Structure 1
Amino acid sequence: MDLYRLAAIAALCVYAIALASPANAAAQMRIVSLAPSVTETLFALGAGPEVVGVSQYCDYPPQVRDLPRVGSFLTPNLEAIIALRPTLVVGLELSSDVREIRALNSMGYPVLLVSDDSVQQIETSIEKVGARIDRQDDAHRLVAQIQSQIAAIQERLANAKPLRALMLVGHQPVVAVGPGTYLDELMRIARAENIADAVGQQWPHLSMEFVIAMRPEVVLDGAMGTDQSSSSSFWEKYPTIPAVRDHRVYGYAEDPMLHAGPRVGQSLEIIARKIHPEAWDRETVGADK
């Protein structure tokens, strides 16, 4: 049976049940999230109990691990979403042309799409979600907290000299963080010059010849995770790279670093501490951890 026809039949069944049960109109919201950043935002705003389905990539906070999975923002499972009887589906703007999203809209399911490619977009998304689920005050407080975290780190790094840096998410192939991503923005806030910006792609595949020629002074390597020795054999082949020579190749955990959303301030601090550890070695601003 055609996907749209099947979905339409399911939608009619849900509608009929709703008409037969007036009490359902007063029930709490049933929210389906199609992206990790959206899920984290919903829980950060206190709407966790109203989340009934999440994307296959959602893993934070821990409570989401037991929730039904409904695909992802680019490959949503229409039947699974409809089966959860959502009163709101929240996804990313990137999926606005995905046919399943268009189908949900055409069948009358409320859909809210947000963006998370920059700090400003993350903050705007939090405000939009908060307004839609009637948690405006919580959204204002969360955005203010993020702005405070970022401002404190900017103040701490005010006199730091920018360093050439490279942030990788994988080795095979070598994939870097490039311009137009929130992580590239965090690197700039952390007083780093991202060598991958020269390529002009959001997630460029780099050759080691390029990396050697650009001479990064700091490398953040996601393939290493939190084990600093796990990729030593990879980097020891390139001793002329300043970051390798000076033992400034650092691993990082994917969580929270690769999760755009409410923990953006935490991710920024992780990056900043690795690029400019000296700013935390002195008691100039705030209290050290």
Structure 2
Amino acid sequence: MQRSAVVLSMLLVVAAVGVAVVPAAGATAAQSPGSAGHAADDAAVPASDVEDLDDAPPYDHQSDSGADSDSETCTFPYNTTDATGAEVNLTSDPDRIVTLNPSAAQTMWEIGAREEVVGVSQYASYLEGADERTNVSGAGGPSVEAVLNATPDLVLVPNSSYGAASERVEQIRAQGVPVYVFGQPESLEFVADKTERIGRLTGNCEAGTERADEIRQSVSDMEQALEGTEKPVGLNVFYGYTSGANTFIGDLMTTGGLQNGAAENFTGFQMINDEAVVQINPEWIVVPVGSSVPETAAYESTDAVREDNVIRVETNLLQQPAPRSVQAAETILESVHPEAYEEYRRLQSEESTVTTTGGGERTAETRTTAETVTEPSPSTTTDSPGFGPAAALVAFVVGTLFATRRD
């Protein structure tokens, strides 16, 4: 009864906002700015489970290709341009940062700059100490009042938050607060670039570069470990959606040793129907923890379900374009290619992060590798990608219904 209510609510919202439904395999999904074609940072299905996959913005955006040329000096004043084309002027090293999505917050934690963060979204609560920061989330997006009351020197904005609530972001910017909007994440390289960019913006250049290099090295080690290995077909599924071409999760899958079965037919994040599932016939299915594989004849006919080849990955790792996402690729690699995973671990051990100190000494820091993920209790809240304005509304309704069911 409750599941029917969820489905009915989704259909009603889809009808109201016009979210595109994924065509059967073999058809090409047309994309348009702000559609469900790309998932994003700040919506949920339920609300916590689609928080950080960026939607194609309703504006022409530049790529986040790392810090600017003068990042080596890491000095201020510092002027740059964000994904919306807006100039961002930082007169001094900011020490009061507000993050409107958990991936930006996680990045600040990962580069050792958590103490500079004064405001976070509600979905960043999984980060240690996040509950001590101001919650800047509001109904249907960020709270302008809460953000301004935190008196930030810089606000870091996900692509999806801008796409769904650009007027709120512009209200913040109109008060003279520097705002930086990120572009659409499509790969782990984007994550590395974003990590460097956040380091530069916040005056943590060295830490940002070091963490970005760790991400790139991990990807390189996985690629080396997989050389000559055949990649089986995989499919990512979460609450009726899949990850097609040009998606962050799609890149995680291929980095971990799978072919993205949805990539040949779909672009971005879109709903997938049973016909497409049957035609793709994945050998492996990747789902975030808390999202089940649909119990339909189509899914049950796949090699993945028949062989029990379902990989459940912690949502905060799988669906947030942030440094810890490397662990999602590691989890996939360990499940699909255990021998290659052991080789990867060997490479990681040999090529652990080495930092050269001013005195010429070298110290090694052990890299993070995949950890066993256990499914949380129904009351556990996790974070992940969201969608553009239309799909975000669908996500909100579904999230509310799921939350009601848990209460």
TM tier, smaller? 0.7 to 0.9
| Equivalent position to 2:171, from 92, 97, 103 | 103
Partner secondary structure for residue 131 of structure 1: helix
Give yes or no for the alignment of 1:248 onto 2:312. Answer: no
Displacement after TM superposition at 1:60 (Å)? 3.8
Equivalent residues of 1:224, 1:252 under 8 A apart: no
Give yes or no for the alignment of 1:177 onto 2:177. Answer: no
Q: Which residue of 2 aligns with 1:277?
A: 338
Matches within 5 A, 1:1-289: 29-71=95-137, 75-96=141-162, 98-115=166-183, 116-170=185-239, 174-222=240-288, 234=295, 238-280=299-341, 285-286=346-347
Partner secondary structure for residue 228 of structure 2: coil
Change in CA separation of 1:104 and 1:151 when aligned onto 2, cut-off 3 Å: same
Equivalent residues of 1:31, 1:90 under 8 A apart: yes
Change in CA separation of 1:215 and 1:112 when aligned onto 2, cut-off 3 Å: same
Q: For residue 80 of structure 1, what is the amino acid of its counterpart?
A: A
Distance 1:284 1:71 in 2: 39
Distance 1:218 1:275 in 2: 8
**Relative to structure 2, which stretch is displaced further, 211-220 or 272-281?**
272-281
Distance 1:283 1:47 in 2: 29
**Relative to structure 2, which stretch is displaced further, 200-209 or 134-143?**
200-209
Tell me the alpha carbon deviations over residues 46-78 of structure 1, each in whole angstroms, 9 at most, x when there is no partner.
Answer: 221121110122134221133221127x82210
Structure exhibiting the larger radius of gyration computed from Cα positions: 1
Displacement after TM superposition at 1:256 (Å)? 1.5
Equivalent residues of 1:40, 1:60 under 8 A apart: no
Tell me the alpha carbon deviations over residues 98-144 of structure 1, each in whole angstroms, 9 at most, x when there is no partner.
Answer: 01111222221111222333222222221121112211111111011
Tell me the alpha carbon deviations over residues 3-52 of structure 1, each in whole angstroms, 9 at most, x when there is no partner.
Answer: xxxxxxxxxxxxxxxxxxxxxx9997211101111001111122211211
Partner secondary structure for residue 134 of structure 2: coil
Distance 2:262 2:93 in 1: 49
Equivalent residues of 1:156, 1:285 under 8 A apart: no
Equivalent residues of 2:319, 2:325 under 8 A apart: no
Change in CA separation of 1:53 and 1:161 when aligned onto 2, cut-off 3 Å: same
Relative to the length of structure 1, the TM-score reads: 0.78
Distance 1:239 1:26 in 2: 57
User: Aligned-residue CA RMSD in angstroms?
Assistant: 3.0
Tell me the alpha carbon deviations over residues 145-199 of structure 1, each in whole angstroms, 9 at most, x when there is no partner.
Answer: 11111111111111210111111112xxx21122222110121222322121133
Equivalent residues of 1:154, 1:189 under 8 A apart: yes
Partner secondary structure for residue 137 of structure 2: coil
Partner secondary structure for residue 203 of structure 2: coil
Higher relative contact order (CA 8 A, sep 6+): 2
Q: For residue 258 of structure 1, what is the amino acid of its counterpart?
A: Q
Q: Any stretches of 5+ residues in structure 2 without a counterpart?
A: 1-90, 350-368, 371-407
Distance 2:210 2:287 in 1: 33
Aligned length: 257
Q: For residue 108 of structure 1, what is the amino acid of its counterpart?
A: G
Equivalent residues of 2:159, 2:181 under 8 A apart: yes
Displacement after TM superposition at 1:91 (Å)? 1.0
